[in-house]
Amino acid sequence: MRRAAWLVLAACTSSSPKPAVKQNPAPPPVTPAVVAPDPRNLGFEQVEGDAPTAWRSKTGPLAVVTEEKHGGMRSLRLDGHHIATSSIDATPFRGKRIVVHGWIKTAESAGAGLWVRADTDSEMLELDNMNGRYVTGTKPWTEVRAEIPVDAKATHIVFGTLQVGPGSAWYDDLGIDAVAIEAPKQIVLAGNVLDPSGAPAAGAEVTLIDLEQEIARHVQADGQGHFELPVLAGKWGLSAHRTGAVGAFVAQRQYATDTKDLKIALAKDGGVTVRGKVTQKVAPGTYVQVSPFSQNDADLFAVPIAADGTFSAVLPRSDKYYVTLIGGGSSGQFERKDDRVDVVLETPSLDPPPAEVVEYIGKQGIALKTVEAGNGLDDMAPLAKLVGKAKIVALGEATHGSREIFQMKHRLLEYLVEKQGFSVFALEANQPECRVINDYVLNGKGTAKEALAGIYFWTWNTEEVLAMIEWMRAYNADAKHKTKVQFAGFDMQTSRVAHANVAAAVKKAAPDRADALLAPIAPLGESMSQQAVKNLSPDQRKALTAALAALKPVLAKADPDTRHDVRVLEQAAAMYMDETAFDARDRAMAENVGWLLDTTKARIVVWAHNGHISKFLPAAENAATFKNMGSVLKAKYKADYLPIGFVFGQGSFQAMDWTKKSRRLGEASIGPAPEHYGSAAFAKTGKPLLVLDLRTLPKRGKVAEWFAAKHPFREIGAVWQGEPAMTFLQALPPVYDAVIYIDKTTRARPIAK
């Protein structure tokens, strides 16, 4: 792991006409009725040229064909990476479940399916793209479906067909139905845990695993090995373990009614002993969650912690195990050595911060009056000492969706530009795509909203980032500002724009050889380039790598951006090819920030997540060797690199909500931190907004001891999985040079479409 009644609103499928029924005597000929064409064209019968009406695509032209069809005269054919899209009004479907169904035929397809999404004017609500349920290989006409619940606030439904990777697929006779949503049904899952001899495994620990592969509940079997779990009808997995046997699990499956004959059979041999301890006293009845790294969906085990802080279980074999304290606060990944895994989970002290710590933060912290730009900069004057002569000031964020954090970074940019002479702003976004924003802030070309939408990420498509871009444009438009501030990106996750730039330059520099030079790197220009590169054979991967290297002398006289785009393509390809290189992206981003520094000769403000800008990443899988962007930059630039992290006390933020099946973008909220959490020491100062320099902390005493110890802090990236999942231990000084504390946050505001 770690990896009903139908309400048909419209009969939208198209079908072949029924054969005439012979009558005797035959009636006189009747003129057939004129049937109006379906405006949604779900059978692909209406065309303009070769293209189906009511359909569109950003991945290439669409064409209907007649050689293959399930019904009627035509079908839609997609080859390679291709997506077709249509949309309808959501009003008739609100409060119901929409089902998009249809027929697919494939030829050597890497994956073909349907997809459906519910949106508002500003955000995606629900999505089903049949991921994991594609029709693959060569298959005859197969009926498939994609379905989602439609929220009452949905404004439109977007749906379509998709072909992932190589191969071809035909689509026909699509239909759209609405299903009345029934209330979840309460059922009981019950059964017995058996030991290796088949006898009852008395007292076995039984764990219930939900659809999101998280522990929903855990119980102890009775003296006869029997367990009983009340649940809602749905998809569930089960696991069990007991001393003297190897733990076992039952893979997830759908349960619609009471099921009381379940059996979990423990094994005798082949297990691995996972044993360990927690470093601080925990409450009686506390458990750890242990899961082997595997492709299974139910091998997740709840293991009790004894009174002395130890725990142990013999579990299915793996090379690595993920262990976390249930309730949050401590987790880690541990490798197997022979048949054993030794675990030490650092757990925090439950004591509140000493009064001396609260007093120190309150007195030494730089209190700021507001997070909003445009309110003067007098209160920020003390930051001059903090910034010093740093060439790169990196501003983190505790979430990817907090309004006040975004606003504070805008205000810091205002200060650093106007008072400290910084003239480059660099965002955690794709480098080539960000040049459109730079063209706007420098020259006023286009609009800020259009330029911002072109960098893909919902994280940045907010009113707060838009306001900052508009401020940059206004600053540059003022004639008295001789040095203009530039907007840059330093990420490299997507390759299509870089590929287009490089391809255009190669065709100009070497028109006679362009086709041959560019052919091996064509997958980097596809809309789903990462999947396209993954699908390459080893020889094709080598050819792609060699082709990128061969382009450098061809483009030796091109502009610096184009030459660096070749490097961006190399970075992206390397990341696509090696999924085990978890820090490949961070190392590439550090390289790109360095390139910006070298080429602009300017002081740079960097905007990224805390996890990227930190000079050490304690939450990394292998923190000792993992090189995040900040650690690379700190090692290279030393005092010239100033990482400033963000800590917040409570409030709301936006994130992809993985606590719900839909995993849609939404708002999450957390309350005040418990008094032993790290942020509580800042909250107790009574100052809602302050900056603390961590480089000047005392060397001895209670303040030094508290900051040297690890405390729980709360932060997430793009995904919300509940408060325990966002809570982890860290000491601040090894991670940041300074922190900014914001007491309360609200959700960043998405830009309305």
Which tens digits make up the pLDDT trace of 303-329?
999 999 999 999 999 999 999 988 766
Task: Compute the distance between CA of residue 506 and CA of residue 569 in angstroms, rounded to an integer.
Answer: 14
- Show the CA angle centred on residue 187, arms to residues 185 and 188, nearest 5°: 165
| Residue 634: C-alpha distances to residues 65, 353, 615, 736 (Å) | 58, 30, 6, 10
DSSP state of 107: E
Look at residue 661 in the predicted model and tell me its pLDDT.
63
The residues of the chain scoring below 70 in pLDDT are 1-37, 328-329, 580, 618-625, 661-662, 753
Query: Residue by residue, what is the 3-state secondary structure of 591-608?
Result: HHHHHHHHHHCCCEEEEC
Task: Compute the distance between CA of residue 189 and CA of residue 333 in angstroms, rounded to an integer.
Answer: 31
Tokens 């006289």 locate to 557
Structural element, H or E, at residue 393:
strand 392-395
Tokens 């418990």 locate to 674
Burial level of 338, CB count in 10 A (0-12/13-18/19+)?
A: exposed
Taking a C-beta distance cutoff of 8 angstroms, is the pair 162, 135 a contact?
A: no
Task: Compute the distance between CA of residue 141 and CA of residue 104 in angstroms, rounded to an integer.
Answer: 5
Task: Compute the distance between CA of residue 563 and CA of residue 147 in angstroms, rounded to an integer.
Answer: 45
Q: Phi-psi bin for 677: left (phi > 0), alpha (psi -120 to 50), beta?
A: beta
Look at residue 580 in the predicted model and tell me its pLDDT.
66
Structure tokens, 200: 């009852």
Task: Compute the distance between CA of residue 52 and CA of residue 48 in angstroms, rounded to an integer.
Answer: 6
Tokens 């220009």 locate to 525
Going from N- to C-terminal start, the domains of the chain cover 6-18+34-180, 186-345, 349-422+603-753, 495-580
CATH code for residues 6-18+34-180: 2.60.120.260
Q: Give the pTM.
A: 0.77
Q: Which residues pair with 643 in a beta bridge?
A: 394
Cis peptide before 25 (omega within 30 of 0): yes
| Residue 540: C-alpha distances to residues 51, 552, 570 (Å) | 33, 19, 14
- Show the CA angle centred on residue 214, arms to residues 213 and 215, nearest 5°: 130
Q: Phi-psi bin for 13: left (phi > 0), alpha (psi -120 to 50), beta?
A: beta
Task: Compute the distance between CA of residue 238 and CA of residue 251 in angstroms, rounded to an integer.
Answer: 7
Q: Phi-psi bin for 338: left (phi > 0), alpha (psi -120 to 50), beta?
A: left
The CATH topology of domain 349-422+603-753 is: EreA/ChaN-like  fold (3.40.1660)
H-only helix segments in 215-340: none
Task: Compute the distance between CA of residue 665 and CA of residue 748 in angstroms, rounded to an integer.
Answer: 12
Taking a C-beta distance cutoff of 8 angstroms, is the pair 397, 610 a contact?
A: yes
Q: Which residues pair with 434 in a beta bridge?
A: none
Task: Compute the distance between CA of residue 273 and CA of residue 14 in angstroms, rounded to an integer.
Answer: 59
Look at residue 529 in the predicted model and tell me its pLDDT.
87
DSSP state of 305: P
Q: What are the phi and psi torsion angles at 212 (to 5°)?
A: -85, 10
| Residue 30: C-alpha distances to residues 26, 34, 439, 689, 741 (Å) | 11, 12, 66, 82, 81
Q: How big, in percent rounded to 5, are the helix, strand and coil portions of the chain?
A: 25, 35, 40
Helix (H, G, I), strand (E, B) or coil at 299: coil
Helical pair 463-477 and 403-420, crossing angle rounded to 10 deg? 20
Helix (H, G, I), strand (E, B) or coil at 399: coil
Task: Compute the distance between CA of residue 742 and CA of residue 397 in angstroms, rounded to an integer.
Answer: 11
Per-chain mean pLDDT for the chain: 91
Which runs of E-coded beta strand occur in 447-570?
486-491
With b meaning 16 or more CB within 10 Å and e meaning fewer, what string describes 92-123? Answer: ebbebbbbbbbbbbbeebbbbbbbbbbbbeeb
Task: Compute the distance between CA of residue 309 and CA of residue 275 in angstroms, rounded to an integer.
Answer: 11
Task: Compute the distance between CA of residue 647 and CA of residue 361 in angstroms, rounded to an integer.
Answer: 13
Q: For 732-748, how does the pLDDT look when each residue is reduced to its tens digit (9 = 90+)?
A: 999 999 999 999 999 99
Burial level of 17, CB count in 10 A (0-12/13-18/19+)?
A: exposed
Look at residue 243 in the predicted model and tell me its pLDDT.
95
Q: For 4-55, how does the pLDDT look when each residue is reduced to its tens digit (9 = 90+)?
A: 322 222 333 233 333 333 334 444 444 444 444 578 899 999 999 989 999 9
Structure tokens, 92: 């008739």
Taking a C-beta distance cutoff of 8 angstroms, is the pair 441, 486 a contact?
A: yes
**Nearest one of 492, 512, 515 to 503, comparing CA atoms:** 515
Q: What are the phi and psi torsion angles at 637 (to 5°)?
A: -105, -10
**Nearest one of 577, 573, 555 to 564, comparing CA atoms:** 555
Look at residue 1 in the predicted model and tell me its pLDDT.
53
Structure tokens, 69: 């069809």
DSSP calls for 650-686: EEEEEEEETTSTT--EEEEEE-PPPTTSHHHHHHTTT
Look at residue 455 in the predicted model and tell me its pLDDT.
92
Q: What are the phi and psi torsion angles at 243 (to 5°)?
A: -55, 135
Q: Which residues pair with 207 in a beta bridge?
A: 218, 239
Tokens 């999942």 locate to 725
| Residue 207: C-alpha distances to residues 218, 238, 257 (Å) | 4, 6, 19
Indicate the Cα dihedral angle 319, 324, 326, 330, nearest 10°: 170
For 186-345, which CATH class? mainly beta
Compute the residue count for the chain: 753
